């Protein structure tokens, strides 16, 4: 018997999933058009009607309702948000990797967009190199949970340390100058829930100061990711509530690179694939975007 090789095993599983996932997608939802993954483009306009609570329309109101329903369980480490809790250390690790190319002793001002219940925002605000965190989300019930959890920690209650705002990025006032912009703008597990990725990201760009980073995590639109996130995570293992993910909204890494390549003033790009291994948690992997989840960071030029 040959010795077990994790890399070979992973490739074998990926090949098996790739061969069967297209058929499974059609069986589960015949209305999905099976276009090549690379054909997905960034919409120039929102795909649903304007909602008064999400000005600009890039935020899907059905997504707001979905996460409102999950609000009470946000801080349960074994509940529906368990994977977000487990991913949080990797978020900080990736931010550190991005900033390693331009280290600074200056304390950071951070903007967390789509903060949810505050899992990342709270942990970022506690870091010694953080001056302040502003966290925004259009979901009122989730932000109510975030505010309540924040009040348990006197450090977070210090004036200006952590500020929650119930608003969409479209309604957040743009900085009047570069000095009012943020060193770090984060967008974790949000892009796959918006209607029009391009316009949504456009609203974020002015909030990043020159030399600062826009850092996000999202899911690639591949056949493998559909099986992993929609079938295995939601239907088989039940570790993610049903309806959390819509495969057609996933965004591939090359699409992000292409879009930012057309934006003036944006330079260095970094990415990192990650995969969730049951019983072991999240792991960094080469080519992880083919499995689904990946981190993506882009630096605004000085």
Q: d(Cα 207, Cα 215) in Å, to the nearest integer?
A: 12
Q: What is the DSSP letter of 106?
A: S
- Residue 284 marked in a binding site: no
188 annotated ligand-binding residue: yes
Residue ranges of alpha helices (H) inside the chain are 6-28, 61-69, 82-99, 119-125, 140-150, 197-204, 223-225, 253-261
- Tell me whether residue 30 is exposed, middle or buried, using C-beta atoms within 10 angstroms of its C-beta: 0 to 12, 13 to 18, 19 or more: exposed
Q: Is 92 annotated as a binding residue?
A: no
193 is in an annotated binding site: yes
Check whether 63 is labelled as a binding-site residue. no
Structural contact between residues 126 and 146, judged by C-beta atoms closer than 8 angstroms: no
- What phi and psi, each to the nearest 5 degrees, are found at residue 135? -125, 125
Ramachandran bin of 264, using left for φ above 0, alpha for ψ from -120 to 50, beta for the remaining angles: beta
Residues 6+ apart with CB under 8 A from 99: 184, 213
DSSP 2: P
Ligand-binding site membership of 255 (annotated): no
* Residue 286 annotated in ligand binding: no
Residues 6+ apart with CB under 8 A from 7: none
Number of H helices, E strands in the chain: 8, 8
Strand-by-strand arrangement of the 182-188 sheet = 162-166, 130-137, 108-113, 182-188, 208-219, 293-300, 266-277, 281-285
Closest residue by Cα to residue 251 from 231, 227, 228, 222: 222
Binding-site positions for S-adenosyl-L-methionine:
91, 114, 137, 188
Binding-site positions for Mg(2+):
189, 192-193
Binding-site positions:
91, 114, 137, 188-189, 192-193
């Amino acid at each position: 018997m040959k010795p077990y090789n994790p890399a070979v095993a992973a490739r074998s599983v990926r090949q098996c999933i790739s061969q069967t996932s297209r058929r499974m997608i059609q069986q589960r939802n015949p209305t999905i058009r099976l276009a090549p993954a690379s054909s997905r483009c960034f919409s120039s306009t929102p795909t649903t009607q304007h909602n008064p609570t999400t000005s600009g329309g890039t935020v899907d109101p059905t997504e707001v309702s979905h996460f409102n329903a999950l609000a009470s369980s946000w801080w349960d480490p074994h509940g529906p948000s368990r994977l977000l809790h487990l991913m949080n250390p990797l978020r900080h690790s990736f931010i550190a990797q991005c900033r390693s190319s331009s280290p600074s002793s200056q304390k950071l001002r951070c903007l967390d967009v789509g903060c949810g219940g505050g899992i990342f925002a709270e942990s970022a605000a506690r870091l010694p190199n953080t001056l302040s965190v502003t966290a925004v989300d259009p979901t009122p019930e989730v932000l109510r949970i975030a505010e309540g959890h924040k009040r348990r920690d006197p450090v977070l209650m210090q004036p200006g340390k952590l500020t929650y705002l119930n608003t969409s990025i479209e309604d957040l006032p743009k900085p009047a100058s570069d000095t009012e912009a943020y060193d770090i703008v984060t967008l974790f597990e949000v892009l796959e829930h918006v209607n029009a990725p391009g316009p949504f990201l456009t609203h974020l760009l002015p909030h990043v100061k020159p030399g600062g980073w826009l850092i996000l995590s999202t899911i690639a639109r591949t056949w493998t990711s559909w099986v992993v996130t929609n079938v295995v995570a939601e239907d088989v293992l039940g570790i993610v509530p049903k309806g959390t993910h819509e495969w057609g909204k996933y965004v591939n890494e090359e699409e992000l690179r292409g879009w930012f390549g057309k934006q003036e003033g944006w330079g260095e790009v970094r990415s990192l694939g990650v995969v969730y291994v049951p019983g072991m948690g999240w792991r960094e992997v080469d080519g992880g975007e083919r499995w689904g989840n990946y981190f993506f960071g882009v630096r605004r030029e000085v």
